[in-house]
Structure formats: C-alpha cells, structure tokens
Structure 1
C-alpha cells in the first residue's frame, strides 16, 4: 500500500522528511499567484537558514516503501520563492515559511518602461527576460495603445494584453513564461469524485446552481461631446431560460463609435452571461498531478453528476495524510478577467541554521 510523502528543496538542498510538519500548496488561475506554506520543526534552528527570496521547489505524492524512498518517486508540483519566514520560539519550536510562484514579481511591480511602439508579444518578451524566465511566447503584430500598459502592475498588463489577443498568460512550475493560445486538447479526467457510493466514496461536495451573477444582455456606453455612444449584445437563449432581460451596463471611454461599442459588448457578453454550475469538493485524497483547467468527474450527486473543470486546488500534506480541496465549474474557465484577485487579499489565501539542510530524502 502506498504512503503519502513530500519534500521541499530550498536553493537546491533537500529538507529531511522528519523535519517537515506540513506542506500546503494552493493553485489558481491567471491573475493570482500560486502560493505555498511549509511548517517545519525548528528545534535545530532551521530558521537561521531560511531567507526571503530563496528558491523553493515542492514535491508531493505517494511511495511504495515509506521507510526507503526517493525524490524521483514524487511529483514536482511547485516552484517559487520564499516571501516570509516566521519562527515561533515557544514550546513547540516551529518555523513557517510562505511564498508564491514566479508570477509574484510581476504582481508586485509597476511597469515603468519608457513609451515606445510595441506589440503585445514584445511587451511580454521584455518582461519575461527581465526575470530570467524561459519564454514560450506567440508572436503578435498589432501595436498596443500606451494606455494599456502604462503605470499598472506588470501582471495586470500582461493579463490585459492576453485578453486583447485572445491568449492566456502564466508561469509554470518549470519557470516557463507562457503567452499564447489556451490548449483545448487536454480533456483527460484527472480525478474521480464519488459521493455516497459505498466503498468508492471519497469526498464531500457542495454545489451552487443559480443566476445571481449572470447577465443575459450587455450594453457598452460612453458619452462624448454630449453624444451617446452605445452598443448592445444579448443572449436570446439565456433570456428565454431566465424569463426576463437582465442587463449589465459597462462604461468605457475607449469606444469612439457605435460599431466599437457593439464590438466590445459582443466580447463581454460571454463573460457576463456565464450560466454555470460551480462546486467545492473537500476531504478527498490528494492528487499531485491536479492543476487548474484539468477535468474531474463527479458521481453520486444526481443531476449534478458529470465532468467539471478545476479552477482552484488546495493540496495539504502532513504526517496524518495527504488531502485535497477543489473549486470546480461546469464550463471551461474562458476569461482570465474572472479570476483577477490576488490570493494575498483572499480569505482562502495561505498568505494572510547553524545546521545546513541535509541532502538526503529519508
């Protein structure tokens, strides 16, 4: 029978398994950084070794022999940097380290490069090289208006540019900077969620099926020289199913003509009219290969059975076990705009030695 295990590697050196108390990794989509929290036994003053900005890699998974195992048996799930070190010099002598992935510097830094005519891919390349990441950037040709990328956080700019081009943008666990089309080919089921199905049962899950935040008509509006510029887009199918028109009015100074207003309304409608079922699954065994936009299947929940996309995951490993929580949605998350909330400001966020680290894994 396999046993859950985990390792952290700090600046290339592995922390011994006996020194680890718990590991937690939260993954989310696009605008928010993936984040981690590691708690260790500090009786040997490991807090003297941990420093801000050290690189950390996290490995999680299952091993066949819990008494003799190696790093290559685990899944590499996270790479980032330490943001904070919090030792507790009390009865328990522990140390907590927290941090984020390599999108964090973009989230923290305002773009201040002097104005020049640039395309979206040129701006992406400029920022990618600034932080020494490996580029995987799709070339674009349209020159971007300076207003889109002046005096804003770098990650906000990159996400806006990605939206503009119909792309997504993220930094993966291998420090590759991706700016390009979403991969729609991966439809493999990564995990199966069972509720009230005897010995197969493996989770608890809550669903939400409502139209509180769903709009079936979007109107883009702008006043210029006392003239109204306006364009409207509507979802007739959703209007019929909801039994009424539910309109969202969006003001934009960027639109200069009725045609531009209509074009922007057409673009915004799919985002504002998302009529989806969402769910929160908990108390299930950790799956180290889980990732945002991966698919999971649900069974045992009546009409809510089916396949869902992951939009957030929470992996927690300690000496008692390896558990996972998921936020899921019935439709593929199509718009990065939905997820523009840094985990640092979220209630669910993680963030709110004289002896060197050993090189062994046992």
Structure 2
C-alpha cells in the first residue's frame, strides 16, 4: 500500500495556503519551503507584496515565527487554518525591503535552528537520552514528544571518547544521541520528536509510476511532472571502507573493512582487498575492534546511499516528508527502487497559480546488518 492513490482520478483540486504570524494572517505572493532531511533545519523564503504602510510593522518585530498551513479545503473560497495542515513553523532570520517595488522578502529556518544556534555543556552522563531531549526541548520553548530510553549517556560518551567538558550545539548533542539509540530526531511545527515514530508518522511509501513509450503512445507518462535520474559510476563499482584505530589503553591497532558489492555486503578484518574496489580510508583514535566494525559499516552505508539519485517534480501535496520512502517503478532499470528523500521543496505562488513539490532522493541502503569474516 502506498500513501498516494494511483491512477489519479483527474479531479480538479484547489490548493490553498495560509501564512500566519501569531494570530495575524500575512499576505504573500509566493513562498518556497524545504525539508532538508530529518537531521537538518528546513528553510523558507517568502515574498510579501509591496505595501509601504506595512514596513513599520515588519521592522518593529524582534522575533517572527511563521506557521505555514497548506491543504485542499472543501470550500476553497471560505476556509481557515483549521481546514488545512500545519506544514511547518519557521523562524525568520532576515527581512529584506525593496525600496523600488516596496516588496518584502523573508528568509528563515524551521525551529531546529533554535538548537543549532545554541550551545550547551555536555554534562549529562548520569541521564538518559530521552531526559536530555526533554530538557533541551523545554529549554528552547519546544513541546517535547519524546519516547523514553533507558541507557545512561555517560556510557556513549566514554565509548566514543567524546569530551564532557566543552560546549556543543544542542542539535549536535541530540542527533548524536539519536544515532546511538537508533531513533529519529526532528522538529515539526513547535514540537521536538525524539523516538521511533515510523508508524505514527506514516511510513507508507510514495509511489512514482513511470510508463515508457509504446507503439500506440509514443511518449512516456507518469504521475510526476518531471523525473530525472543520476548514476554515480564511481560508487557503482564495488566499494570498500577501511577504518583503522589505535587503542592506547589496550596498546593495540585495529582494522576493519566494510565492503559493498552487487551481491553482498560484509565486514572484514583482512587488509588484503581486491584491486577492483573503490576504497575509502578513515583513521580514528581509541576505537575497539567492535567499534571499528560498526564505524566501517556506518560509513559504508552513508557512501552507498549516493550511488543512485532521483529528482522528481510532483503536483503539490502535504503527504511527503523526509521520513516518507519514495518508490519508483516502471523504468525497467536499476532506478526502479526505493529512495530516501534527502531534500523536499514545496513552492506555492499566486500568479500564475502554482503549487508543486520537488523531491531529491538517494538510494536506501538495503542491508541493515552485516556478517563478520
């Protein structure tokens, strides 16, 4: 089952959007907003039509939070924010005034920026990751939606040799802990999510169907208005990642090699590699053999994700997010696979009317575990 319905019915729809600052609904001529990934702040750019009388209000604001609501109301002539979906809340970083056109340009980031811009001392070794996530959310004024964890984070810090006596950006601390716990960490609206929210947020995939030309129909069709693919020929070769580490306490040097081929993924400790492999070398300090194995697999997965890339433009909607898998089918090539959305951009403009979403995806690593040999 997919999150979108195919084939489409061809019914006319009337998308609507409301941009709201507090209780004030603001005028706009166009806006585009991005979700960059689960672990990064999204961005927004808004064009406000020129009215000199509005300049005073905009320049008097010390902080501007814009709630972006989008949807398809039953009555497109009479609707409110309650009839739409809260797409995201953005914090405006800059206001630009154009003296010739009187227009106002707003640029900002979602509320992840509250944590990327603030640092905090890592002194939580006797607390759990969920306790820290709740503390940070409340400290920056976000509502925490945090699932409980049990391990004390001092174990993580000691294992990875992270300094406990220097400041780190709050967001770096949270994403570090989320990676160790194997959970998601992101901001939606004014809520910080920390946990495994796959089913709650709908992990159903979005399907892009491509139908090649036929004799009767000498042109392709698709539910995407534009569809492009990229194949990284370097990463298409068998890839290996070698991690070396000197462990001072054990006075030992450890090596781990993770390899990916068209037929298998594996982690090896033998330094003799086939010459056909595309090799990446990394050096870390203080890792055990098990940590070298884990680090090699992690880096291999990150590199392998970029082998196949996809970019699609689709009719605007509110159902695709960074946690939504995107499936392409119908090309009859290796591009028929599942992609992870690295960047999602929505653009809405008044004249001429347009609402579209662009998805930039990369292949999802198919192996979740490895065997040691």
Residue 82 (1) aligns with residue 113 (2): no
TM-score (norm 2): 0.75
| Bigger relative contact order, structure 1 or 2 (CA pairs below 8 A, ≥6 apart) | 1
Give the Å deviation of 1:25. 0.9
SS at match of 1:230: strand
**What is the RMSD of the two structures over their aligned residues, measured on CA atoms?**
3.3
TM-score (norm 1): 0.77
Residue 172 (1) aligns with residue 188 (2): yes
Aligned-partner Cα distance in 2 for 1:49–1:333 = 52
Aligned-partner Cα distance in 2 for 1:157–1:199 = 46
SS at match of 2:167: coil
The match for 1:313 is: 344
The match for 1:231 is: 255
Aligned-partner Cα distance in 1 for 2:209–2:94 = 35
Q: Specify every segment of 5 or more residues in structure 1 that has no aligned partner in the other structure, as ranges.
A: 336-362
Give the Å deviation of 1:60. 1.9
Residue 11 (1) aligns with residue 22 (2): yes
Q: Specify every segment of 5 or more residues in structure 2 that has no aligned partner in the other structure, as ranges.
A: 1-11, 213-218, 266-273, 369-373
Give the Å deviation of 1:77. 0.6
Give the Å deviation of 1:333. 10
Contact 2:256/2:289 (CA < 8 Å) preserved in 1? Answer: no
The match for 1:326 is: 359
Tell me: CA distance 1:118–1:84, structure 2 relative to 1, closer, same or farther (3 Å): same
Tell me: CA distance 1:166–1:211, structure 2 relative to 1, closer, same or farther (3 Å): farther
Q: Out of 61-70 and 123-132, give the one that drifted further.
A: 61-70
Give the Å deviation of 1:9. 0.7
Q: In the TM superposition, what whole-angstrom CA distance separates every residue of 1:128-156 from its partner, at most 9, and x where no partner exists?
A: 12012222223232332272563221111
The match for 1:183 is: 198
Q: In the TM superposition, what whole-angstrom CA distance separates every residue of 1:220-244 from its partner, at most 9, and x where no partner exists?
A: 2234669651221333644879982
The match for 1:127 is: 136
SS at match of 2:153: coil
More helix by share: 1
The match for 2:179 is: 163
Contact 1:59/1:77 (CA < 8 Å) preserved in 2? Answer: yes
